[in-house]
Structure 1
Amino acid sequence: MQNRLADARVKFRHLQCFLAVAQFGSVQQAAESLSITQPAVSKTIAELESVLGVRLFERGRHGAVPTREGQLFMPHASACVSALRHGVELLARDEGAMAATLDVGVLPTVATDVLSGALRRFAQQWPRVSVRLMTAANAELLDRLKSGAISFAIGRLADPERMVGLSFELLYNEPLAVVVRAGHPLARGAVLPAELARFPLVLPPFGTLIRQAADSLLAAWGTPTLAAFVEMLSVSMGRALALENDAVWFVPAGAVEYDLRQGTLVRLPLPSGGGEEPVGLVLRTDTQPSPVGRALIDAVKGAARERAARMAGEQDAPRTRRRRSATAVAAEGQTSRRARKR
């Protein structure tokens, strides 16, 4: 291969496209992840191959597979992209310097107060960094992380084959909740499985981990085969359907914490614990987070710890009230007995 790097013909966009195609194994998927057209990706890869004087991919029925030269070039391209991003981010901390953007993937149903608390902390440390949150299903988040389109993801632990090249660090375990609006007919007592069919059901999309939990819950409930339901991940739309259409909404509990505390939505009693799904930080194993990315990761961890402490306190509060009530009843009984003796 001829040494043509000195003429500065290798551009950042060349490296971005190369890494995206290498990660996805598909020009089309790479184009979608970069929000550009497929011909633009093909043209950019062709330009890079011309500059380097080698073929980087073999294209066929199985997609785009990196050649030996492509495999050799990949870690260096990744290091260059990461180093450039790190440098831009570091400059963004100084007042008057150029601003930077941090791209992060987040599940739509991730606990809102974890994110809000984390972003508040982060903004205090890095006031000139914009955080661009991309919400999508877990599988899409993992694909975008592998392509380098996002710095890290707050998602769920996936099957081993999807986690190749990725690491997972647990933040919290999130139970599935079945919620309805306050005053809903089903909120008045025990719910019979057949009663669910009288109301619209809102379920997570088929193939997602939380849908598997919902299906297991429905089976444990003894629910008849569902004839119709709505599938989606949107928290805002699910909330609207629950409040306006009397829908029964199957949703991760963290997504409705605020409404449950305010009493706008209430839980239906579950036939079992409903199962829990791990939510955590997902990172690539071949790169290290930038200083900006590390700061946001630390902020997310801190917010998750605060959430866990608060929820533990909320669970302990009813037990404390019951103990105090029992103590008060016992004290009243002793007072009554003393009075009778007198």
Structure 2
Amino acid sequence: MKPLNSSWFVRARLKSRHIPLLVALGDTGNLNRAAEGLGISQPAISKLLKELEDGLEVALFERHARGVVPTLYGEAMIRHARRIQTSLEDAFDEVCAMRGGQRGHVRIGTILTPCAELLPELTRRVKQSHPNLELSIRTGSSLDLMAILNDGELDFLVARFFADSAQTGMCFEPLYKEPLCVCARAGLINHVLSREDLHAADWVLPPSGSVLRHEFDALFQHVGMYPPSKVVNAENLLMVTTLLEQNDMLTVLPREVVAHYARYGMLAIAELDAGIEEDLNRNLMAYGIITKNEELLSPAARSVLALLRESAQLLPPVERSAV
């Protein structure tokens, strides 16, 4: 075990009060407003900041007439301070949950497709085996969720893994490729659509830069066509389905998601000329379980992760590979 007095934060005389100080200054960029938020005086906050800078032997903030601006050192310390504060709050929540007879709080990040079947199945299993456990499910793009996981605000993800943006310590367990399809409101499309029909149609699509939008644009670029220009950009699924319901528009969604809405007569898969759907799914990445520092997860999070892996066995497997 490393001796405590050899740690930098002991030598720099880091105090617990320095953590909320850094977060407050990062949020406000102003000593007076940070002092008000922390309930201490402005001279006291200046003294704390000087202690920290003296201990680290670097300037964390540049002082200006209208406030303070973090240096590169300050930005790094603010980022880590946020993580420490989140971890301490999680520890308190976990202790309170156990003290109250609960089993803790688990936070999962997920892309859209697992919300149709995998996450509901996981939730069912969690409620059966851990009825008092609090479960939070956050949806978003894979890139955004990976950043949130890296900041310690999520326990694990069900998402796509991007090696170029991966942070040290992240592991990926591929589960399933989510086939995409073209769809519209039920009854709108009654004929087979060609690539030219798709190009001329009105669309509601996720913004440029998303994986789904990239695959959609490649569908046309592959044959030397420009992507459609009559596009409304929208990420929120409620907005997408409402636009489809009220307009003669098409969209691209995972088949599992469309199947869910088709059961209620809201959406229908459009029939396409041969080869179009294969092109749409040609380079689609599999999604899977993404973890970071799994050994540091709470007992509740490890239990839910085990249940997630059990639930995932119900899905058609893809070739497993270590990352």
In the superposition, the TM-score normalised over structure 2's length comes to 0.69
Range 53-62 or range 130-139, more displaced: 53-62
AA partner of residue 171 (structure 1): L
Measured after TM superposition, the shift of residue 118 of structure 1 is: 0.8
**Letter paired with 1:241:** L
2:289 maps to: 281
Describe the SS at the equivalent of 1:246: coil
CA drift of 1:201 comes to: 0.5
Aligned to 1:337: none
Describe the shift of the 1:89–1:257 C-alpha distance in structure 2 as closer, same or farther (beyond 3 A).
Answer: farther
User: Do the aligned partners of 2:200 and 2:228 also contact (CA within 8 Å) in 1?
Assistant: no
Residue 305 of structure 2 corresponds to 297
1:155 corresponds to which residue?
159
Work out which of the residue numbers 131, 134, 137 in structure 2 matches 1:130.
134
Opposite residue 300 of structure 2, the aligned amino acid is V
Pair 1:307–1:4, CA change in 2 (3 A) = same
Structure possessing the higher radius of gyration over alpha carbons? 1
Quick one: distance in 2 between partners of 1:282 and 1:14?
28
Q: Partner of 2:19 in structure 1?
A: 14
Say which SS state the counterpart of residue 133 (structure 1) adopts: strand
Q: Distance in 1 between matches of 2:228 and 2:145?
A: 29
Could you tell me the percent identity over the aligned residues?
20
Which residue is equivalent to 1:140?
A: 144
Counterpart residue identity of residue 280, structure 1: G
Q: Which runs of 5+ in 1 are unaligned?
A: 22-26, 32-36, 310-342
Query: Which aligned pairs between 1:1-342 and structure 2 lie closer than 5 A?
Result: 10=16, 14=19, 31=27, 37=28, 39=30, 47=48, 50=51, 54-55=55-56, 58=60, 64-65=72-73, 85=90, 88-89=93-94, 92=97, 96-97=100-101, 100-185=104-189, 188-220=190-222, 223-261=225-263, 264-268=266-270, 269=272, 271-273=276-278, 274-275=280-281, 276-285=284-293, 288-308=296-316
Aligned partner of residue 181 in structure 2, secondary structure: strand
| 1:334 alignment partner in structure 2 | none
Give, in angstroms, the shift of residue 78 of structure 1. Answer: 7.0
Match of 1:327 in 2: none
Distance apart, 1:241 and its partner CA: 2.0
RMSD: 4.3
Cα gap change, 1:58 to 1:235, in 2 (>3 Å) = same
Is contact 1:58-1:66 (8 Å) kept?
yes
Aligned 8 A contact 2:83 2:151 in 1: no
Q: Contact 2:220–2:227 at 8 Å: present in 1 too?
A: no
Is this contact kept in 2: 1:152–1:282, CA < 8 A?
yes
- Classify 1:52/1:294 alpha carbon distance in 2 versus 1 (closer, same or farther; 3 Å): farther
CA deviations on 1:66-110 (whole Å, 9 max, x unpaired) are 799x7xxx79x979975874675376367x436743332222454
Residue ranges of structure 2 left out of the alignment (5+ in a row): 1-7, 39-44, 63-68, 318-323
Q: Is the 8 A contact 2:221 2:227 kept in 1?
A: no
- The 3 A distance-change label for structure 1 pair 57 and 182 is farther
* Residue 53 of structure 1, CA deviation: 6.1
SS, match of residue 153 in structure 1:
strand
Rounded to whole Å, the distance in 2 between the matches of 1:219 and 1:175 is 19
CA distance in 2: counterparts of 1:49 and 1:126, whole angstroms: 47
| TM-score (ref. length: structure 1) | 0.66
